[in-house]
Amino acid sequence: MPLLECRGLRKQFGGNVVLNGLDLDVSEHEVVALIGASGSGKSTLLRCVNLLEEIDDGTITLDGEEISDPRVDPDTVRRRIGMVFQSYNLFPHLSVLENITLAPRRVHRRERAETQRQARELLDRVGLADKADAYPDRLSGGQQQRVAIVRALANSPRLMLLDEVTSALDPELVGEVLTMIRDLKADGMTMVLATHEMGFARDVADRICFLDGGRVIEQGPPAQVLGDPIEARTRQFLHRIIEAGRL
């Protein structure tokens, strides 16, 4: 059984259909990269999986439980899902350590000492042990994004959703975040990531899904989808990416 199953997802904003009968399976320990033009449904899909947006039709199943059922408590589901956004969304009035330990203490009711110990261990792993007491405005963009990822990891999620986590970064800061995601893959974390970084998608993903018009048009191993796509629409998209020097 896949860890995550999406069946016939439909989401419409006014007259704009963003997800149009989308199907997606994600196996445990798999890394799936979502690619496609802006407006193809990548970010909306991630927000629907995390129950930040309510789907109009279809089902979302996590660990065999239909989490899209309106009777399901979204906060309970989100304890099993970590989500990291383009903007870091760190609380500016809290230190790095306080940002990371807030949810484990308030939501999971864990002891302060335990959450601080875990947070310091995670910060040490990503080279930010000396930033525990710093405030977000004292960090670079790359450091803030790594803290945002650590904050999501502190809840021990079953699934990580990463929405264009490098798009707001200066080019020289992208590498440190991508290295962290590679390390998560090596640890066996299940991830679905929306990205415009084609080279990164090729290197880290087990499977690439090309979205167009709110559906998965083509999917497969990175070498096949990026190197020898079957669908004409995929070839057209990648041709533009290559012309722009991004692959």
- Shared-domain flag, residues 76 and 40: yes
Query: For residue 66, what are the β-bridge partners?
Result: 61
- Shared-domain flag, residues 177 and 57: yes
pLDDT digit string, tens, across residues 23-56: 999 999 999 999 999 899 999 999 999 999 999 9
- Shared-domain flag, residues 228 and 162: yes
40 in any annotated domain: yes
Q: Which of 139, 156, 173 is the last residue of a domain?
A: 156
Q: What's the maximum distance between 2 C-alpha atoms anywhere in the chain?
A: 55
Q: Which of 138, 156, 174 is the last residue of a domain?
A: 156
* DSSP class per residue in 74-98: HHHHHTTEEEE-SS----TTS-HHH
48 in any annotated domain: yes
pLDDT digit string, tens, across residues 49-86: 999 999 999 999 999 999 999 999 998 999 899 999 88
- Shared-domain flag, residues 69 and 172: yes
If one counts the domains in the chain, the total is 2
| Beta carbons of 176 and 225 less than 8 angstroms apart | no
18 in any annotated domain: yes
86 in any annotated domain: no
Report the CATH number at residue 232. Answer: 3.40.50.300
Tell me which residue range forms the domain holding 107. 93-156
- pTM for the model: 0.92
Q: Which of 123, 156, 189 is the last residue of a domain?
A: 156
What is the per-residue burial (b if ≥16 Cβ within 10 Å, else e) of 10-44? bbeeeeeebbbebebbbeeebbbbbbbbeebbbbb
- Shared-domain flag, residues 222 and 193: yes
- Shared-domain flag, residues 108 and 212: no
**Residue 148, by phi and psi: left (phi above 0), alpha (psi -120 to 50) or beta?**
alpha
- Shared-domain flag, residues 165 and 237: yes
108 in any annotated domain: yes
- Shared-domain flag, residues 72 and 164: yes
- Shared-domain flag, residues 62 and 148: no
State the Cα–Cα distance between residues 68 and 171, nearest whole angstrom.
37
* pLDDT per residue rounded down to tens, the chain (247 residues): 899 999 999 999 999 999 999 999 999 999 999 999 989 999 999 999 999 999 999 999 999 999 999 999 998 999 899 999 888 789 999 999 999 999 888 877 888 899 999 999 999 988 899 999 999 999 998 899 889 999 999 888 999 999 988 887 777 778 888 888 999 999 999 999 999 888 889 989 999 999 999 999 999 999 999 999 999 999 999 998 888 776 6
Residue 74 token pair: 């979204």
87 in any annotated domain: no
193 in any annotated domain: yes
- Shared-domain flag, residues 110 and 59: no
85 in any annotated domain: no
- Shared-domain flag, residues 62 and 105: no
- Shared-domain flag, residues 108 and 223: no
CA 18-20-26 angle, to 5 degrees, is 95
Query: For residue 22, what are the β-bridge partners?
Result: 9
